[in-house]
Amino acid sequence: MSEFETYSCGSCTETFSAHPSSNAAANTYCSPACEIEGKDL
């Protein structure tokens, strides 16, 4: 049974599925690369 939810990436605006308790859901980035882009590191 899936508890994944759909989120919209904060960097590339791509939608992706992630578990609500996951890092990706907390940051709303679809990948580590987008997290870096989104945070402008």
Cβ atoms within 10 A of the Cβ of 22, count? 13
Cα 8 to chain centroid distance, Å, stands at 7
Task: Identify which of residues 20 and 33 has a Cβ nearer to Zn ion in the complex.
Answer: 33
Tell me the HSE value of 18 on the side-chain side, using a 13 A CA sphere. 18
- Cβ at position 21, least distance to Zn ion in Å: 19
Nearer to Zn ion among residue 20 and residue 36 (C-beta): 36
For Zn ion, the binding residues in 15-34 under the rule CB under 5 A are 30, 34
Q: Of 18 and 30, which CB lies nearer to Zn ion in the complex structure?
A: 30
